[in-house]
């Protein structure tokens, strides 16, 4: 694997849980964006955080760091 090639490596198939963001609770603090180790958090046109599910591994760090509890981890149905 070449350095800097992580955007070419889609990791969505690895996860067991996926984050869901409740925009009514989100304060736009962006702590989830700061702490996401995969850079899977993005900003939408209104400044809310959204998840790029192609790269999210479902680790749950975003949910753990969210002070307003706007992110919950849901089990992926297979």
Contact present, 16 and 75 (Cβ < 8 Å): yes
Q: Phi first, then psi: give them for residue 53, nearest 5 degrees.
A: -70, -10
Q: What pLDDT, in 10s, does the model give residues 8-66?
A: 666 666 779 999 999 999 999 999 999 999 899 999 999 999 999 998 999 999 999 99
Say what the pLDDT of residue 4 is: 57
Kindly indicate whether the domain formed by 8-75 is annotated with CATH number 1.10.3720.10.
no
All structural domains of the chain with their residue ranges = 8-75
Q: What is the DSSP letter of 69?
A: -
Q: What is the pTM of this model?
A: 0.82
pLDDT at 11: 64
């Amino acid at each position: 694997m070449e350095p800097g090639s992580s955007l070419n490596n889609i990791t969505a198939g690895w996860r067991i849980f996926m984050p869901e963001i409740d925009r009514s609770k989100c304060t736009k603090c962006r702590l989830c964006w700061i702490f996401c180790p995969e850079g899977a958090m993005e900003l939408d046109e209104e400044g809310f955080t959204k998840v790029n599910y192609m790269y999210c591994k479902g680790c749950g760090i975003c949910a753990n760091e969210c002070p307003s509890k706007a992110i919950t981890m849901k089990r992926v149905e297979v």
